[in-house]
């Protein structure tokens, strides 16, 4: 296991333990963030499936009316009518934050549906197509909000997983290995210092004994 190249001192050991403690706390927070992101992505994805199905059904209905209009009035008349249609919808965009991720809030304000084209060359199938498209737009904004939100949360989840892997498999093991090696080095130094101290004391005691012996001999 790779270790941090740092001198083996008590102050460095304390510093490393503090940093590893912070790394572990960060890992716990990232794990919590990961779970929140996964849960929220699941909720949005489930809701998006429902809204997507609703959008599909409304658009299929609009295409069915459009097909009838094409058969009844011809492509050129339908195109001309479409060009004369004026949209009066208003899209309102806001934002909210979830775990640091900016999520869109999309709302589309639609006025009561009233065809903006003239009566000449048009009929029920064109009116029905216009009404169906108007109804589809009511849920398209919600689907856009959900899909963009899911995309942004997925991107944040990938970043979070990378950080978790880096902490769990690189940083924390490196700190743990460095701390263990440093503790062993310091313990070895302490044992060596204690051994040297015992040797010094033993020599001092031997010298003292020899000195006392010489003093006793000289007195005789």
| Domain CATH code at residue 130 | 1.10.287.3240
Give a yes or no: residue 89 inside a domain.
yes
Q: Specify the 3-state DSSP secondary structure of 85.
A: coil
In 3D space, the residue among 14, 16, 19 whose CA is nearest the CA of residue 5 turns out to be: 16
- What's the total number of domains in the chain? 1
Cβ atoms of residues 3 and 181 within 8 Å:
yes
- Which residue range forms the structural domain that includes residue 56? 29-157
The whole-number pLDDT of residue 35 equals 96
Give a yes or no: residue 20 inside a domain.
no
Give a yes or no: residue 88 inside a domain.
yes
Give a yes or no: residue 207 inside a domain.
no
Whether this model's pTM surpasses 0.85: no
Give a yes or no: residue 209 inside a domain.
no
The whole-number pLDDT of residue 180 equals 92
The C-alpha atoms of residue 84 and residue 133 are separated, in whole angstroms, by: 15
Give a yes or no: residue 137 inside a domain.
yes
Main-chain phi, psi angles of 177, to 5 degrees: -65, -40
In 3D space, the residue among 47, 38, 37, 33 whose CA is nearest the CA of residue 147 turns out to be: 47
Cβ atoms of residues 41 and 153 within 8 Å:
yes
In the predicted structure, residue 51 carries a pLDDT above the cut 60: yes
The C-alpha atoms of residue 150 and residue 67 are separated, in whole angstroms, by: 34
Cβ atoms of residues 73 and 123 within 8 Å:
yes
Give a yes or no: residue 177 inside a domain.
no
Strands 90-98 and 101-109: antiparallel
In the predicted structure, residue 84 carries a pLDDT above the cut 70: no
Q: How many CA atoms lie within 13 A of 150 on its CB side?
A: 15
Region 24-39: what's the mean pLDDT?
95
Give a yes or no: residue 136 inside a domain.
yes
Please state, rounded to an integer, the average pLDDT across all residues of the chain: 84
Main-chain phi, psi angles of 102, to 5 degrees: -85, 115
């Amino acid at each position: 296991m790779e270790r941090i190249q740092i001198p083996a001192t008590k102050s460095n050991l304390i510093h490393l333990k503090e940093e590893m403690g912070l790394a572990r706390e960060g890992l716990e927070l990232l794990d919590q963030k990961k779970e929140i992101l996964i849960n929220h992505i699941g909720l949005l994805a489930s809701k998006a499936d429902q809204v997507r199905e609703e959008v599909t059904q409304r658009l299929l209905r609009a295409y069915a009316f459009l097909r009838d209009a094409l058969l009844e009035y011809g492509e050129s008349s339908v195109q001309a009518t479409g060009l004369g249609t004026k949209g009066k919808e208003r899209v309102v965009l806001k934002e909210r934050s979830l775990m640091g991720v900016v999520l869109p809030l999309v709302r589309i304000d639609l006025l009561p549906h009233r065809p903006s084209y003239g009566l000449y060359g048009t009929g029920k199938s064109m009116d029905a197509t216009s009404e169906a498209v108007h109804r589809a737009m009511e849920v398209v904004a919600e689907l856009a909000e959900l899909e963009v939100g899911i995309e942004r949360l997925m991107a944040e989840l990938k970043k979070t997983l990378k950080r978790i892997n880096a902490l769990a498999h690189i940083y924390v093991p490196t700190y743990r290995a460095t701390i263990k090696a440093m503790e062993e080095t310091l313990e070895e130094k302490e044992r060596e210092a204690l051994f040297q101290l015992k040797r010094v004391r033993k020599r001092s005691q031997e010298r003292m004994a020899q000195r006392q012996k010489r003093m006793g001999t000289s007195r005789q």
